[in-house]
Amino acid sequence: MDNEQPVEARTHGVGYYSFSTDEVERARQQDELKNLRKETVEQQAKTQTAAQRKQKLMEERLKAARRRKRERLGLPPEEEGEGEAEGNSLGVEDEKEKTPDPPEELRRDVRKPAPIRPWDIGKENTSKVLSQEEWMEKKRLERNEEFAPPNLYSSQKSRRKRQPEQVREERQVFNMEPVPIEDELEEEKVENTRGRGAEIPPPPTFEMYGPTSKPYQTTRPKLNPTEINKSIEEGLNFIRKQVEEKQAKRRRKDEIEEIMG
């Protein structure tokens, strides 16, 4: 009679092994299980040995790289203890990284914070309303330095901030009122022009054509009718020649298509 239950694996777990009730078969199954366990242990030992061999090769490679670097820099060769201590420290750091931190209890406040009323601003239990610049400065102080932008970004930003000031100074220089230059060596004094009216400069036609009352007129060159007809005829001949060339190319293309077809 077989005492095996249909849900035996589910009751006892996935690692449960059901042995036979026959003593001979039971002994054979136990020996087989021991052999499987032995093979598993041997495979684990081989894997661990391969990992140690790989780690040793990596340490030797790093040691050779450090030695070459020290030779390039002209430094003396490092002592045996330095590389081993550094390798041990790296191994300890790797173990620390592998060990997971214990999970922290997460707390979540479901309730929404009460809105700040205008008459509550400035009281003891009321947080100050930060402006955009203050909030950004606060977050920059809380930020980890590893995630901060490079110093080049801040230098470029400060340079950009200085540019408007420089432009403003340049504009002030260009917007300065011109100061007339006085000729101190001039002996003659400027006559007193008090009582005179405003001086109006003459029109440009006066300087170019002299005093005249006639308005300035542009003269167009006279064209010869014979030359006009000649130019028109040349243009028509050129257009006719282009049209004939296009028609000849089209006829040649049609003939080639007929031959190929």
Average per-residue pLDDT for the chain = 73
Q: How far apart are CA 246 and CA 218, in angstroms?
A: 44
Kindly state whether residues 14 and 76 are assigned to the same domain. Answer: yes
What tokens appear for 58 in the block? 């990596």
Tell me, yes or no, whether 215 lies in a domain: no
Q: Which of 151, 173, 195 is the last residue of a domain?
A: 173
Closest listed residue to residue 91, CA positions, set 44, 53, 49, 59: 59
Q: Tell whether 216 is covered by a domain.
A: no
User: Which position has the token pair 């820099």?
Assistant: 73
Predicted local distance difference test score (pLDDT) of residue 58: 94
Residues of the chain with pLDDT > 90, as a percent, come to: 17
Rounded CA-CA distance 237/240 in Å is: 5
Confidence of residue 198 (pLDDT cuts 50, 70, 90): low
Domain span holding position 72: 8-83
Task: Inform me whether the pLDDT recorded for 226 exceeds 50.
Answer: yes
Amino acid 255: pLDDT:
87
- Do 136 and 77 fall within a single domain? no
The pLDDT, as a whole number, for residue 56 is: 93
Instruction: State which of 76-80, 139-143, 200-204 shows the largest mean pLDDT.
Output: 139-143
Confidence of residue 84 (pLDDT cuts 50, 70, 90): low
Domain final residue, candidates 59, 83, 107: 83
Is residue 193 assigned to a domain? Answer: no
How far apart CA 54 and CA 46 sit, in angstroms, is 12
Which single residue is written with the structure tokens 């028109």? 232
pLDDT tops 60 at residue 36: yes
* Domain co-membership, 71 together with 18: yes
| Residue type, position 177, single letter | E
Phi, psi (rounded to 5 degrees) for 6: -70, -25
Judgement on whether residues 133 and 71 belong to the same structural domain of the protein:
no
Specify whether 75 is located in the same domain as 134: no
Question: Alpha-carbon distance 73 to 65, whole Å?
Answer: 12
| Averaged pLDDT for residues 4-11 | 56
16 and 69 part of one domain: yes
How does residue 116 score in pLDDT terms, banded at 50, 70 and 90? confident
Least reliable range by pLDDT among 77-91, 110-124, 149-163, 223-237: 77-91
Q: Cα 207 vs. chain centroid, distance in angstroms? A: 64
User: Last residue of a domain, which of 140, 173, 206?
Assistant: 173
Mean pLDDT of 93-102: 59
In a domain, 143, yes or no: yes
| 162 located within any domain | yes
The residue with greater pLDDT, 153 or 72, is 72
State the pLDDT at residue 1. 40
- pLDDT bin (cut points 50, 70, 90) of residue 74 is confident
Q: Is the pLDDT of residue 238 over 60?
A: yes
For the residues 20-31, what does the mean pLDDT come to?
Answer: 89
Q: Does residue 159 belong to any structural domain of this protein? A: yes
Q: How many domains does the chain have?
A: 2
User: Is pLDDT at 55 greater than 90 in this prediction?
Assistant: yes
User: Is 116 part of a structural domain of the chain?
Assistant: no
* pLDDT of 39 over the 90 cut: yes
Domain presence at residue 26: yes
Q: Please tell me the predicted confidence (pLDDT) of residue 4.
A: 53
Q: What is the pLDDT of residue 38?
A: 93
First vs last Cα of the chain: how many Å apart?
92
CA atoms within 13 A on the CB side of 26: 6
